[in-house]
Structure 1
Amino acid sequence: MSDATGSPAAQKRSAWSRLPIVHQLRQSIGLQRGMLIAGLTITTLFVLTAIFAPVLAPYGFSQLRGADGAFGAQQPPGGAHPLGTTVGGYDVLSRVLWGAQTALFVIVVAVLLSIFAGVFLGLVSGYFGGWLDRISVVVSDAVYAFPSLLLAIVISIVISGGKSNLIGGVLAAAISITVVFIPQYFRVIRAETVRIKAEAYVESARVLGAGSGRIMFRHVFRNATRTLPLILTLNSSEAILTLAGLGYLGFGIEPTAAAEWGYDLNKALSDVTSGIWWTSLFPGLAIVLVVLGITLVGESLNDLADPRLRGRRAVGQTAGVVAQTSVVPGGTLVAGPGGLGGREGAATHPTDGLEDRP
């Protein structure tokens, strides 16, 4: 009889089930699964909107005129502008869609840069220790103690010089967020590296003659970075809030360079008191939904990474199933056709029902 688990189809299903998101979906249960699915749905819509913004947006992010002439400022929703126009005469729907592209670009650049820098510094500092570790920890704690938004503002001013163009504005926002995130990755990777380098397999590799670089990147790195997806999702939502905060305070990106939700909220402040709600509602709603979706994914992954919470599914599946076993001298008592009760009632002598032994 052939082993079904060794077939190509079974191997393909097994490989598919081991994928990060699929594996977490299979582990989740009840409300936890609902939160994860909702977060993944919102996050996927955000990513697709950012990628296909040039196709979905009816106008350009800095377009002020159409085939019928100028759009006009503060036009209510309807007609050619389903979400209305801003005080500057921009189409709100187009600005919201193009803003998703800017947010995704800043998230990718900031998270990737902070991961590379934080992971490398954490590995080196935690593995070698000594004066390098002490200096790195002090600098990391000093940076981590600053309010993240204030630090991002200072770095943004230093990088862009107060000028918000496409390169200066987007990269200044991304790099400023990167500096804020590096201490978080550094602290996590350093703590894991200090713990892992004392494990037996690391000592064995050192005894066998493996160099420090090989041990760090082949043995320690793979085990120390298992929690990075959790931090990545949570930092992505924080990056959006930091970017929106920079734009809201006037350190964002000019509308002629790119669309940014925080900048649009800043320009819509005067509209709120005049009863013009659409210029601020939709950019703010976009920020809330995207942050909510990414946060739901991060919190769900964080719960699933906890062994105590991850075991709830196995407990729920086995709840109420009690094995009726009885241990007697000589082995386990197995019930006959009448069940355990019939077995016990039929046994009038300790040797009744047992086969004769030589």
Structure 2
Amino acid sequence: MAETVIADSVVHGASTEARWKKLPLVWQLRQSVGLQRGMLIAGLALCLMFVVMAVLAPVIAPYSFNQLSDDAGSFSRQAPPGEGHPWGTTVGGYDVLSRVLWGAQTALSTVVIAIAASIFVGILLGLISGYLGGWLDRVLVTIADAIYAFPTLLLAIVISIVISGGQSSKWGGIMAAALSITVVFIPQYFRVIRAETVRLKAEPFVESAQVIGASTLRIIFRHVLRNATRSLPLIVTLNASEAILTLAGLGFLGFGIVPTTAAEWGYDLNRAIADVASGIWWTGVFPGLAIVLLVLGVTLVGESLNDLSDPRLRIRRRVTAAAARATEVRP
């Protein structure tokens, strides 16, 4: 009996380990080697750091994003880094460290909502357009091409102006900014999914499903969807960095989230422009550095996944690494 229990435990442990190794992130780490692995790990570490900052902002931030005083009195304006304010204060008297931490929460919330909404709408329209075809396909393609022709930031500004009435609260501002970015990214997912759907609907397994009488919805969401979305992780990571820059651009130009409802790095950079001539560097360096590091982290992950998705590059790097190890072992 004891031997049976031990054997079952070993089998269960082995199956759990096998499932763990098959997770997309773990699989990518196992496939990467050398510099590729270093880039992926560095990108993941930066992204994880900002996720922790965003989640724990209410706990680790010394003050609220719009707090101007404490028990000792009002904060000094443009105070240099020191006791009580490790990263100094802004021209408005806000604590820079707190603004950066709360800004991470604003940035990640906006980007996640925008990317999720873009994926949902883009995939749905791409599947319908690619599979059904006809006049509906021509109309959707024309609209997507027209939207895609606009510069990203300009289109986001126009959408932000149109929906500016819903920014009276923190989450209202985040949703408005996310919607502005969503409209920009929908055509990208639409075009990718539509192209894959057009290719897949001519495959034998789709034709077999049609022959046996499967409904259109079942074919689209059961057979086509899972095969048409394999390249989405690469697009998501690349779009996430663009979404961060778009959000910062909106805030910098004054079309982003209302500053009294949430902290936003782009707005803080705009307010720090006048400080540069006076030698006040801390009000602009830290928000700018946060944008650079977050974009760098997401870009490193995206570029690493893009390289790992190419089997030729992956095999070439693994062969090079194996040859290097063999050279080191050789006396």
TM range (shorter): over 0.9
Q: Could you tell me how far 1:142 is from its partner in structure 2?
A: 0.7
1:143 aligns with 2:139: no
Most deviating of 193-202 and 249-258: 249-258
- Residue of structure 2 in register with 1:290 after alignment: 294
Measured in 2, the distance between the counterparts of 1:190 and 1:317 equals 38
Q: CA deviation at 1:13?
A: 1.3
2:311 paired residue among 301, 307, 320: 307
Please give the alpha-carbon distance, in whole angstroms, between the structure 1 residues aligned to 2:260 and 2:168.
10
Distance apart, 1:21 and its partner CA: 0.5
What is the CA distance between 1:87 and its match in structure 2?
A: 0.1
Name the CA distance, whole Å, in 2 between partners of 1:319 and 1:118: 44
Mapped to 2, the partners of 1:252 and 1:165 lie a distance apart of 13
C-alpha separation between the residues in 2 aligned to 1:7 and 1:313?
34
Q: What displacement does 1:306 show?
A: 1.2
Deviation of the 1:256 alpha carbon: 2.0
The CA distance in 2 between the partners of 1:270 and 1:191, in whole Å, is 48
Partner residue, 1:64: 68
The Cα of 1:7 is off from its aligned counterpart by 2.0
1:234 to 233, 238, 255: 238
Instruction: Tell me the amino acid that sits aligned with residue 282 of structure 2.
Output: W
Q: Does 1:90 align with 2:68?
A: no
What SS does structure 2 have at the residue aligned with 1:311? helix
What is the identity, as a one-letter code, of the residue corresponding to 2:183?
Answer: V
Determine the C-alpha separation between the residues in 1 that align with 2:199 and 2:322. 34
The answer for the alignment partner of 2:188 in structure 1 is: 184
Residue of structure 2 in register with 1:330 after alignment:
none
Question: Does residue 212 of structure 2 align to residue 212 of structure 1?
Answer: no
Distance 1:230 1:89, change over 3 A: same
With over 3 angstroms needed to count, the CA separation of the structure-2 counterparts of 1:319 and 1:176, relative to structure 1, is same
**After superposition, where does 1:208-357 map in structure 2 within 5 Å?**
208-316=212-320
- Distance in 2 between the 1:299 and 1:129 partners? 33
* One-letter amino acid of the structure 2 residue matched with residue 105 of structure 1: S
SS at match of 1:63: coil
Within 1, Cα distance between the matches of 2:206 and 2:244?
Answer: 39
Indicate if the aligned counterparts of 2:103 and 2:265 stay in contact, CA closer than 8 A. Answer: yes
User: Once the two structures are aligned, what percentage of the paired residues are identical?
Assistant: 70
* Match in the other structure for 2:4: none
> Which one-letter code corresponds to 1:228 in the other structure?
L
* Shift, 1:280, TM fit: 0.2
Q: Structure 1: which amino acid aligns with 2:306?
A: N
TM superposition shift of 1:308: 1.4
Task: Find the counterpart in structure 1 of residue 85 from structure 2.
Answer: 81
Structure 2 distance, partners of 1:187, 1:238, is 18
Write the letter of the residue equivalent to 2:60.
Answer: L
Partner of 1:197: 201
CA distance 1:313–1:11, shift in 2 (3 Å): farther
Using the TM superposition, name which of 265-274 and 165-174 deviates more.
165-174
Equivalents in 2 of 1:267, 1:194: separation in Å?
A: 49
More helix by share: 2
* Structure 1: distance between partners of 2:319 and 2:206: 35
Deviation, structure 1 residue 251:
1.1
1:181 Cα deviation after fit? 0.4
Matched position secondary structure for 2:313: helix
- CA shift, 1:195, in A, is 1.0
2:113 corresponds to 1:126: no
| Equivalent residue letter for 1:181 | F
State the shift of 1:314 in Å. Answer: 4.7
**Distance verdict in 2 for CA 1:48–1:244, change over 3 Å:** same
Deviations 1:180-214 (A, max 9, x none): 00000001101111111111111111111111110
1:339 maps to what in 2?
A: none
Following superposition, the deviation at residue 162 of structure 1 comes to 9.2
For 1:271, the aligned partner's letter is D
| Alignment coverage as a number of residue pairs | 320
Local SS of the residue matching 1:121 = helix
Q: Tell me what 2:161 maps to.
A: 157
Q: Is the contact made by 1:75 and 1:84 (CA closer than 8 Å) also made in structure 2? A: yes
Q: Is the 8 A contact 2:33 2:321 kept in 1?
A: no
- Whole-angstrom CA distance in 1 between matches of 2:37 and 2:296: 15
What TM-score do the two structures reach when normalised by structure 1? 0.86
Q: Which has the higher contact order (CA 8 A, sep 6+)?
A: 2
Q: Is the 8 A contact 2:88 2:96 kept in 1?
A: yes
User: What does residue range 166-185 of structure 1 map to in structure 2 within 5 Å?
Assistant: 166-185=170-189
